[in-house]
Chains A and B, each alone.
Chain A
């Protein structure tokens, strides 16, 4: 249970970065940290004590041990790649904003009308 709580603390640190920080790059880092903590949480749930890696031709010594859950691993594999895509998208928008306003400070980027 302590592992779940630590994972949750990591999520809260990312949320702190998103809400408090004024620098766009820091905000993007906060979003990425939240993403990582959620991925880690899903894999933590799917772990089985003394579990095997889910790869099939088992050596003789490991035949009686259970596999860890392969389903969250497969879905988190998808989520990691999508996370890279969203981070690249956010960074490209940050580059556009910097070219237009000359700063990363979101307090000064306030003329976003029309």
Chain B
């Protein structure tokens, strides 16, 4: 099963690289879909069907919004020009890569290997043993709506704020529109 996950991850990396280097914005958005739907299959392989369902819906909605934006504006990508500042950017990228890799190496030293998580599930074990009190059949929904209901309330608040923000940003008139 690990080998399938590796194949999916390599596919996602290839899709994201093509998406960032595509000449046309429409093909960039379409190949960005590879990443999202690859993520769906990875979630299914990792025994997380709830996440897979949510991710399918979110990915489709994101693609629809992005394609609507591109259809209403433009789908030309700017031409590449490698000048001096591009070299500075590549140096910055290399610096960030090295820094993050050192941090990542330290961090994964503290983690257990892939699949050996069972010894560290104290919190989850308490939830699993107490799930009969919630009456939920699905442990994930039991946690989301019962043990961690305040987190879900916060999520609803964030969603509401984002919707209000989108409506406000799209409704206000800019200086150019008034003329």
Contact = CB atoms under 8 A, between A and B. Distances in A.
A7 B137 CA distance: 31
Contacts, number: 231
Interface string B70-91: 1011100110000000100110
Interface of B: prevailing SS: helix
Contacts of B162: 82, 85-86, 88-89
A14 B97 CA distance: 12
Contacts of B89: 19-20
B9 A3 contact: yes
Contacts of B144: 74, 77-78
28 contacts: A1-B113, A4-B104, A15-B96, A17-B16, A19-B96, A20-B89, A26-B25, A29-B20, A32-B35, A36-B35, A40-B42, A40-B43, A44-B114, A48-B117, A48-B118, A53-B47, A54-B47, A54-B138, A54-B139, A71-B124, A74-B148, A80-B58, A85-B163, A89-B165, A91-B66, A91-B69, A95-B72, A100-B174
Interface of B: 2, 5-6, 9-10, 12-13, 16-17, 19-20, 25, 28-29, 32, 35-36, 39, 42-43, 46-51, 54-55, 58, 61-62, 65-66, 69-70, 72-74, 77-78, 86, 89-90, 92-93, 96-97, 100-101, 104, 108, 111, 113-118, 121, 123-124, 127-128, 131, 136-140, 142-144, 148, 151-152, 155, 158-159, 162-163, 165-166, 169-170, 174-177
